[in-house]
Every structure is written in C-alpha cells, then in structure tokens.
A = this chain, B = another copy of it.
Amino acid sequence: MKDAPRRRPRQSDIAKLAGVSQTTVSIVINGRHSDTIRIPPETRRHVFEVARSLGYTIDPVARSLAGGMNHLIGVYTFESLFPMDHHDFYYPFLVGIEAAAEALGYDLLMFTSATGSDGGRSIYREGVNRLGLADGCVMLGKETNRDDLVRLRDEGFRFVLIGRRDVPGPVTYVTADYANATGKVVDHLVGLGHERIAYLTAADPGEPSADRDAGFLAAQTRHGLDTDGLVLSVRKEEGPSAEQVRRLLAAGATAFIAHESVVALRLLDLLAGMGVDVPGECSVAALSDAPDAVPGPELTCFRIPRREMGMRAVELLVQQLESEEEIEPRAVELPCTFVAGQTSGSNRKES
C-alpha cells in the first residue's frame, strides 16, 4: 500500500534480489546465452521468476541508447496527415503501412509537429531533425522538399518514399506504374475505335503527372495518333471550362482522358449539360481512382494500389534496417488495376 509513485523496476533490482549481476539479468532477459555465454537453466528460471514478481518490463529507451534498434518506423507526411479532405487519399496508405509494421513488429511514429506556423512542413526545424527517433521513415505527400530529402540521405538516415521522386542521387521509393496504367486506358479507348483522344493533364507539375504524360505519349505514338489541339492543362480545383470542352469537341475529340477523377466527373457534368451522351457519343476516362463515395456512373479508370504501396514501403524499409550491409536504393513499381467502368463505349464511325 505504498502511496509513493513506484519507480519502474530495473535490471539491477532484479539482480540484487536474485543474487546475480545486472549483466546476467540482461543476458537472461534477452535470451542471449549461447555456446560461449552460458547461464544454467535453473539460474535462468530464477531470474525470470524474480523479474515476473517485480513486474519488470524492459526499458526500450535505455536499450535503444545502448545501441539497439527502436523498432520504430516513422511516418512523415509532407502535408498534414489527418484533415478530412486528405482522408481518402492517405488512409489506404496508412492501412498498408500499419499492417506491414504490425506484421514485422514495428511501431509507428507519426510526425505531426513538423508543421510550422506558416503551415509549411520541414523536417529540419531549428536545426533539429525529429525524425531521428525512428529507425527509418516512410515518407509521403506531394509537396516533397527535395533538399531535406537529400540532406537526410546524406546523413545516412534510412527512408522509403511513397511515390516516385526526382531527387539528385538515388533514393528508394515505391510507386504505382502510372505510365503502363495510362497506356492501358489509351489501349482500351483505341480498342473501342477512338482515334482523337483529348488529354486533360494536371496543371501542377509532379512526378506522378509526368509519368502519366509519358505513358500517354508512348501509347499515342504506339497507336500512331496525334494530338493537335487535343491537350489541355487543367487545375484540379477548377476543372475545364465549358468553352474549353466545346473547343476540344470541335477539334474532333471523341474521348477524354483526365488525370484527376474529380476533373473527369466535372467533365461528365459539362458534357451532360451540353447534351452529349456518355458513353454513347463520347467516352471519358480518368487516370486515378474514382472516389468511392461519389454517386454516379463508374468511371473508366485504374485503381492505384495504395494499400500495397504502403505495405511494400515498410517492407523495403525494414529490409534496409535489418540487413548488415548497405542496401542499394531501389525503385519499386506496383501495377494498377484497370477498371473498364461505364463511361467509355465504342466510337460510332462517322461518314
């Protein structure tokens, strides 16, 4: 019935009670006895008993200081993690990350405090890199700070990016194979007889957009198509204007491909407003997931394997962490699954 806030028992407490040395306790607790380091079973049992009776639990902090791993995987997002609007975007990644971490025996350290008063995030704030607590880090977010990344790597910090990043020097990342997936969408539309495909690329630059562009370009030359007046740069927030869509139709477009599903949905609305039937007269496809919750027809698009990407990232990271030698940075591309959807149909040949 002590009122005093009991201190955590330590190995030396056990040692005293069991009549052995702290070293012995450490060895027993960690099961480090081997051919060269021998502790007889009875001593071991005794130590264990005392430990249990004291309610001993190892102090991970001390262990860590003494050179061990923390079994901590950092999760750093270049944007704020949980706000509702990012919900659907980040969540599947997190599910994967958590699953893999749990399977591999790691805990997750979610960095939130790196957010400055300006709302911007930086790993290095006031010269302090909070990521250090984690053994390694999974990094996600669009607005990557490349300088920080380079500095991190040069410091020898282990991390895996989710999403391809053009960074000077090698880094390991896992991404989705946007180029191929985009190619498949084009193939699908071409297979339906479309020859003039309007392409609504994302206005904000970034590797994922670039990959889609590359995939589109490749597919297009493969099929011998051209794009005069059929390419449009569109902001996700605004979508295309009715005027722009009209111009594309006037240019002979019979199908539309938009990077963002939001844009594709807006496109559907505009086309409906103009009396254009989808997929009867015109097809629409997106180069990303359609949001689940939104009602309406299922978009022709592809699914980004977010969950798998999360898992894979953690697996790669742990592999790096647990191997003795330095592991070469790796790039992993996971395939997207094509979704035929209901917004694309065969192009009725005219004339």
Find the B residue at minimum CB distance from A3: B326
Q: What's the nearest-Cβ distance from chain B to residue A25, in Å?
A: 11
Bound CA–CA A65/B91 (angstroms): 34
Cβ A113 vs Cβ B109 within 8 A: no
Bound CA–CA A133/B64 (angstroms): 10
Q: Type the 1/0 row for A37-61, where 1 means its CB is closer than 8 Å to any CB of B.
A: 0000000000010011001111111
Find the B residue at minimum CB distance from A96: B82
Cβ B61 vs Cβ A127 within 8 A: no
Cβ A115 vs Cβ B127 within 8 A: no
How many copies the complex holds: the figure is 2
**A116-157 at interface with B (beta carbon < 8 Å):** 124, 127-133, 151, 154-156
Cβ A127 vs Cβ B58 within 8 A: yes
Cβ B110 vs Cβ A48 within 8 A: no
> What is the interface residue range for chain A against chain B?
35 or more
Q: Cβ of A340 < 8 Å from any Cβ of B?
A: no
Q: Cβ of A101 < 8 Å from any Cβ of B?
A: yes
Q: What's the nearest-Cβ distance from chain B to residue A18, in Å?
A: 13
What residues on B are CB-neighbors of A108 within 8 Å? 109-112
A132 touches which of B7, B8, B65, B112 (Cβ 8 Å): B8
Q: Cβ of A95 < 8 Å from any Cβ of B?
A: yes
Contacts A61-B70, A156-B6 given: A115-B102 contact, CB under 8 Å? yes
**A310-340 at interface with B (beta carbon < 8 Å):** 326
What residues on B are CB-neighbors of A127 within 8 Å? 29, 48, 51-52, 56-58
Identify whether the interface residues of A are mostly helix, strand, loop, or mixed.
mixed
Q: What's the nearest-Cβ distance from chain B to residue A125, in Å?
A: 9
Q: Cβ of A81 < 8 Å from any Cβ of B?
A: yes
Q: Cβ of A342 < 8 Å from any Cβ of B?
A: no
Cβ A151 vs Cβ B99 within 8 A: no
**20 sampled A-B residue pairs with Cβ under 8 A:** A29-B127, A48-B127, A55-B129, A55-B151, A55-B155, A57-B128, A57-B129, A57-B132, A57-B155, A58-B127, A60-B130, A61-B70, A70-B133, A82-B94, A82-B95, A82-B99, A101-B113, A102-B112, A102-B115, A108-B112
Give A contacts to B, CB under 8 Å.
5-8, 29, 48, 51-52, 55-62, 64-65, 70-72, 80-84, 87, 91, 94-95, 98-99, 101-102, 105-113, 115, 124, 127-133, 151, 154-156, 293, 326
19 further A-B contacts with Cβ under 8 Å, apart from A58-B132, A61-B133, A87-B91, are A6-B155, A8-B155, A29-B128, A58-B127, A58-B128, A60-B130, A61-B64, A82-B94, A82-B95, A82-B99, A84-B95, A102-B113, A107-B111, A107-B112, A107-B113, A107-B130, A108-B111, A109-B109, A110-B110
Rank and list the top 7 A-B pairs by shortest CB-CB distance, nearest first. A57-B129, A5-B156, A82-B98, A102-B112, A108-B110, A60-B133, A61-B64
